[in-house]
Amino acid sequence: MRTTTIFTLKEPLRFKKQLLQWSKRFEEIAWLDSNNYHQNHGEFDALLAVGAFTAVKTDYHQAFAKLQEYQQTTKDWIFGYLSYDLKNDVENLSSKNFDGLAFPDLYFFQPQKLFLLKGDQLEMRYLRMLDDEIEEDFSEILNLSVADSHQPKRDDLKAKIQSRISKEEYLQKLDKMLAYIQRGDIYEANFCQEFFVDNREIEPFEVFRDLNEISGPPFATFLKLEEYYLLSASPERYLKKIGSKLISQPIKGTARRSKNPEEDLQIAKELSKDPKEQSENVMIVDLVRNDLSKIAKKASVKVDELCEVYSFKQVHQMISTISAEIDNGIPPVEALRATFPMGSMTGAPKISAMKIIEELEETKRGLYSGAVGYFTPEGDFDFNVVIRSILYNSNKKYVSFSVGGAITAGSIPEKEYEECLLKALAMRKVLS
């Protein structure tokens, strides 16, 4: 089905920039960049998929069944996203909040041209009908001049970034959330708020490049599907399947970085010992273990890392790693359906938390807190969690980013609001 040609690159980092620049001509683009972060079970340094040969696009009704049929029919590489609102396909739930972006709930495509980078090795895997273009494309990409990093004019976006809810409303909503927790309806819930810019155009490639330079995360994504754009600096893996092994790496616990090395080390140490952050993380680990047990071989679910602190350019994060062996006869898409949405973006108990989230949040989450990733022809997959991300509908000229945090009995509303602003910093900066 595909012709594979392997090249050795003299300047892999430069080639990555050239490759992303070359991709601009396509209507469908999926760019996944690990930013050379090799501590996270990564298979590739970067992947680029362009040009849809086939695609599936749908709302939440029977979405996972449609994806399973598409994945099993193509038996090829497919790239795309699962929006948070696929929860309505998994459970008897609804999404009735405001939606300024109007993204489809699910969108995947089978690329005509695929690039896989690891170290100085590049694999170009083209559909056979296009294999005569491999050498020509490689030569063209190699000869592209790469623009130097700069801060493009963004029409004074920062001044026009609006919050969907005021700080006062946020604090009131958190008081209601805490009342639900005190009543015993939930133990924890992830509460999010949207920031948006209406009737504005942005240059998505430039914004993504700046966001990625600021953050350098292991699950960075640039996604363009028609008029729908995702510019993501996600540090979090939702779920990976390689052979029969499943790996999930939820994040719960965030602290700022400091330019002073001693202070920075102290902040990381305090995060690692913070009882509130630890309890948030452990609750989600339990939820992920429970989700994975639905589709795992008996006694195969293991916690490989608990509450480990990882440091990224913008923040320190507390991450846990849970693994399992998928049970015999379980289709790959079922592993996603059984664990979706990811526990780090919902809460515990999961269904109660999702109902309360829907009641208290003002915005339909859509792709935010969903997942982006790919399937291989063998049925392996890797998906991130869509956080620290800018969403853009170029037809509607609507720019949006959301931030949130886990609310537990120990949460102090004012501090939770400050954490939201910390998480929003990078997105605000690149839109300024």
Residues annotated as catalytic (active site), given as ranges: 236, 252
- Alpha helix ranges (H) inside 5-50: 12-22
Distance between CA 287 and CA 293 in Å, rounded?
10
> Are 86 and 105 within 8 A, CB to CB?
yes
DSSP annotation string for 254-288: EEE--SSHHHHHHHHHHHHH-HHHHHHHHHHHHHH
Tokens at 51, concatenated: 């040009």
Distance between CA 268 and CA 278 in Å, rounded?
13
Distance between CA 230 and CA 391 in Å, rounded?
5
CA nearest to 195, candidates 392, 356, 59, 358: 392
Please tell me the number of Cα atoms within 13 Å of 127 on its side-chain side: 17
The Cα-based distances of 83 to 57, 98, 170, 308, 399 in angstroms read 12, 15, 24, 28, 17
Backbone angles phi, psi at 172, to 5 degrees: -65, -40
> Are 57 and 111 within 8 A, CB to CB?
no
**Which residue type is seen at 154?**
R
CA nearest to 354, candidates 100, 140, 91: 91
Residues in the chain: 432
DSSP annotation string for 169-211: HHHHHHHHHHHHHHHTS-SEEEEEEEEEEES----HHHHHHHH
Distance between CA 349 and CA 352 in Å, rounded?
6
> Are 157 and 427 within 8 A, CB to CB?
no
